[in-house]
Every structure is written in structure tokens, then in C-alpha cells.
Structure 1
Amino acid sequence: MNLQFKNFPIFILSLALSLSLISCSEKKEKVAQNQTKEEVVEEKSDEKIILFFGNSLTAGYGIEQDLAFPGLVQARLDSLGENYKVINGGLSGETTAGGVGRIDWFLEDEPDIFVLELGGNDGLRGIQLSETKKNLLTIIDKVQTKYPDTKIILAGMQIPPNMGPEYSQEFQSIYPEVAKEKDVTLIPFLLQNVGGIKELNLPDGIHPTEEGHKLVFENVWEYLKEEI
């Protein structure tokens, strides 16, 4: 019994030292966790946003969204180590009027780059061209007014001559006119080397296949990379 009590102070000292080391270890772990959380928050705060705002072409109708051209943009940015988040604001069937109605909701987060792809459905429905132009200008105005530093890219569109050659030509001219008036970057024709090519489009002849979207991505990237 005496021997046990004789060693008791040493036992207490060892126990206290062990508890102290455990406590220090836990504190260091908590500090490390907090630092990691702070780094993640800081990284997210530095993350830039690219908003693609459009119709079914942007949404990737008929294919997986990651394989549509906005998803391919995200993949390219990730491969380059660029800290960007791509938001796909595409909605199938969307017109420029519909875009005016929902743009404010998408502007809750400030986009560093805004890519506007609308008007194709207007043309296919024969909507008055002055209305389409007015709506495109309104959408761009909303972005520029709220975020003057946001870079804007307008995707030009063309339509088949179903509505008559005069209507088709005037429709095509809307995009360079709007781009010039608002001083934004213009992609002359989003579907360059894709539109009208059977094997690059779904059976409806309007929406690109996965291979078609790869070419659309290249059309977009040519202009987008200059704004990154």
C-alpha cells in the first residue's frame, strides 16, 4: 500500500501532462479547422461568376447540362485553374420578353461576365423585330445599371428564311446594332459551323448534339477568353 501511494504523485503528474497534451492537440486541430474554413470562405469570396442567360440552347436541351456549352466552359476554366463559377441561366422556350421578366432574379449575385443568348425563339415565332431589339437593350441596361463593371457578351443569332428573307436579314442585323449601341462584345453567330448541319443537331434540326455543343463552345470561348 505504501508503495502504491508513494508513486501516486508521479501518476497524477503523468495524467495531468497527458491531459495537457491532448488539450493542446485539440486546440491546434480546432485552429487548423478554423484556418481551413477561413481559406475556403476566402477562396469563395474571390470566386468570379459567369452568367449564361438564354434559352434552350444555353440550357442544353436534349443532352446533359454539363455537356452543353456553358458546362464545357466550366470544364475549360477548371482545367486552367481559373477560379470561376459558371451559372447556367438557360430556359427552354424563353423569349426576350421572358428574359426581361426574370433577369432581376439572376442578378442577385453580381456576375463578372454576363453572356446574353436570347432572340432565337422570337424569330421563330415571328415576333416584331422592334420588340426583340427593345428587350435585348432592356436586359443589357439592367445589367449595366446594377453592375457597371460587369463585362457583357451578346451572342448573335440567325434564323431560317421561313418568315421571309427580309425578316431573316433584319433579325440578323439586330445583334450588331445592339452590341454597337451598348458597347458590348458580339459573337457574330453563336451556331457558326453548327446551325443547319444535320449530323450536329438533334432530329428537330434546331438544338445541337453533344458534338454540336463542342463547336458552339469553341465559338463562345474565342470571345470569352479575352474577358477572363
Structure 2
Amino acid sequence: MAQPAKSAPATSAAAPTHTVLVMGDSLSAGYGMAASQGWVALTADRMARQKPGWRVVNASISGETSAGGATRIAAELKRTRPAVVVIALGANDGLRGLPLEQTRGNLDRMIRAAKGAKARVLLVGMRMPPNLGKAYTDGFSANYVALAKAHGVALLPFLLEPIALDRNAYQADNLHPTAAAQPRLRDHVWKALAPLLR
């Protein structure tokens, strides 16, 4: 019985002290693959090697909208007490054609909540297909730029940028990236995330 008591302090001493909280949808939840294959898990693996003392909590849910994220973020901030929050939501809003002002308002609430918890924020944007109309697609992308500027937070304009034109990088639904494409997404996000890990 004495053995666990001796090893417990060493374990806690080696435990990460800073948390990155990822609030996303299926693109961040690793839809259609093992959780360990997704870009968030791959980022956690890299972080363990390159940024000891940091960990990742993936609170992403497939099908999540910005409204869902805005509803959940307070509890997640309380539960994880993150130093950095990655907000990667809005894609499902766009695919459903939800009002741009609604999405922007929800993302605004999430950014304010994260900053209120003293966390640094990385806002990860999305783009919509042209069939939704130029006014909507342009406004959708502009939401992320405007929010990042208004709040002074880091912005990655388009999560899928490295694979946007590569049909082979997507699963059969043509919406979700394959497991093979995940390292490219990890590398893309890492460029914006790494400077926040301080």
C-alpha cells in the first residue's frame, strides 16, 4: 500500500500544467476514423514531444454548431481551466444556411468567455461552397476575420486550406478529410497554435 503513495507525487509532478482546449465539430472530432488519427490527437502527440508541460483536451462534437459551442464553453472552461482555447466552429452553421449574424454572435460569446477566463484564443475559420451564393460565402469568411480583429485574437482563416483542392484528401462524403490528410491539417494549425504555447 505504500508503493502507490510514493509514486503518486512523481506522477503529478510530471503531469502537464497547461491545457489547450479545442472546441470544434466533426472536423476536429476525427469523424470517420480512430480518435488517435485526427489532427487534434496528432497535435497532442507533437505537443508532448516539443512542448512538455502542455496537454490537449478535445471537446469537439460531431454535428456541433456555434450555438452548441456557446452553450457548452462555460462548463468546459471551468472543467479544464485552459491557457489556450481553439475555437473551430461554424461549418455546420454554414451548411445549414443559418444567419451569418447568429453565427457571429455565438462565436463572439465564445471568444469573450475564453478571454474572460484569461485564456489565449485561436479562432479557426471555415469557408463555404459557392452554391450558397457569393454574398453568404463572402460574409461567412469575413465573420472570422472581423471577430479576430475585434477581439485581438489569433486567426487561422481556413482549417482545410492545405487540402481544399485535393479530392483524394476527403472521405466518400466529400466533406470530411481522410485519416491520411490529418497530418497536413495538424501542421497547418500548428503554425498558428505554437506561438500561443508560452
Q: CA deviation at 1:223?
A: 1.0
Give 5+ residue unaligned stretches, structure 1.
1-28
Q: Partners in 2 of 1:211 and 1:34 — Cα distance?
A: 43
Q: Please point out which of 158, 162, 176 is paired with 1:193.
A: 162
Q: % of aligned pairs identical?
A: 32
Higher relative contact order (CA 8 A, sep 6+): 2
Give 5+ residue unaligned stretches, structure 2.
none
Q: CA deviation at 1:198?
A: 1.0
Q: Please point out which of 58, 61, 76 is paired with 2:46.
A: 76
| 1:23-172 correspondence runs (5 A) | 30=2, 34-44=5-15, 46-80=16-50, 82-107=52-77, 108-145=79-116, 147-148=117-118, 150-172=119-141
TM-score, normalization by structure 2: 0.93
Q: Partners in 1 of 2:83 and 2:164 — Cα distance?
A: 29
Q: CA deviation at 1:35?
A: 4.5
Q: Which amino acid aligns with 1:36?
A: S
> What residue in structure 2 maps to residue 175 of structure 1?
144
Q: Partners in 1 of 2:34 and 2:58 — Cα distance?
A: 12
Q: Which amino acid aligns with 1:65?
A: A
1:145-173 deviation digits (Å, cap 9, x = unpaired)? 1x12x111000110101211111011111
TM-score, normalization by structure 1: 0.81
CA-atom RMSD, angstroms? 1.6
Q: Secondary structure at the match of 2:123?
A: strand
> Larger C-alpha radius of gyration, 1 or 2?
1
Q: 1:39 to 1:120 in 2, by over 3 A?
A: same
